[in-house]
Amino acid sequence: MPTVLRVRALSDTEREQIKRLSQARRAPARAVERARMIQLASEGLSGPLIAQRLARAENVVRRWGIRFNADGLPGREDKPRSGRPVTYSREEVGGVVATALTDPKELGQAFGSGTVARLERSLKEERGLTIKRSRIHELLQTEGLRWRAEVTWFGARVDPDSAPKRGGSKPSTPSHLRRGW
C-alpha cells in the first residue's frame, strides 16, 4: 500500500488560504498546483495518487509537502536561485555608459558622431573591454538611454561654405511654375 504523504496539521487560516488558492483562476499556475498538492495531502491522499491526479512526478509532490511542513505557507514559494554569474562588473557597465554619453571628440576620436560600432571599437581599444553591440544596446536601454535619441540630422553644417561650393540647381532640374486660374 502506498504511503500517505503526511503534512502537518493546518490552522484554520492556512486551510482557508490553501483552499482559496487551489481554486484560484488568476493566480500563477505554480502556486495553484502547489496549493492543490498540499490540500490533497491534508485530505489524506498518498503521494503517488496525488502525483497521478495532478500529472506530476511523485518526487515533486513529496518535495512540496516537505517544504510546506518545514516552512508553512511561505514554503510554497520558489527559493532564490544562484543563476548565471555577472558578466560585466558595475564599474565596466558604468564605463560603457559614461563613454556612450561622452562626445567622441573629447575622447580623442577622429569622428564627430558616434555609432555603436565605433563605441564598441573604442571600448575595446581604450578600456580593453570586449563587448558585443547587442550587449551595449541592452546596457544603455537598462539605463534608460536610447542611442542617438537627442541627435538631430539638421544641425550646424560641418563646412560653413558648403552652400557656395555646392552652387545653384542644375539647369536640367525643372522649375515649378505656379499656374494661375
pLDDT in tens, 83-101: 888 888 889 998 888 888 8
In this structure, the number of other CB atoms found within 10 A of the CB of residue 38 comes to 27
What is the rounded average pLDDT of the residues 58-81? 87
Whether the predicted pLDDT of 68 surpasses 80:
yes
pTM score > 0.85 for this model?
A: no
Q: What string of DSSP letters covers 31-83?
A: HHHHHHHHHHHHTT-BHHHHHHHHT--HHHHHHHHHHHHHHSGGGGSPPP---
Residue 128, all three cell numbers: 580593453
* Every domain of the chain and the residues it spans: 12-76, 90-149
Q: What is the torsional sign of CA 125, 131, 133, 135?
A: negative
pLDDT at 50: 92
What is the rounded average pLDDT of the residues 135-148? 83
pLDDT in tens, 110-135: 777 778 888 888 888 888 899 998 99
Per-residue exposure over 69-87, b if at least 16 CB sit within 10 Å of its own CB, e if not: eeeebebbeeeeeeeeeee
Rounded-to-integer distance, Cα 87 and Cα 40, Å:
44
Name residue 46's beta-bridge partners. 4
- The conformation of residue 160, written as its DSSP 8-state character, comes to T
Pick from 66, 67, 27, 33: which is nearest to 50 by CA?
A: 33
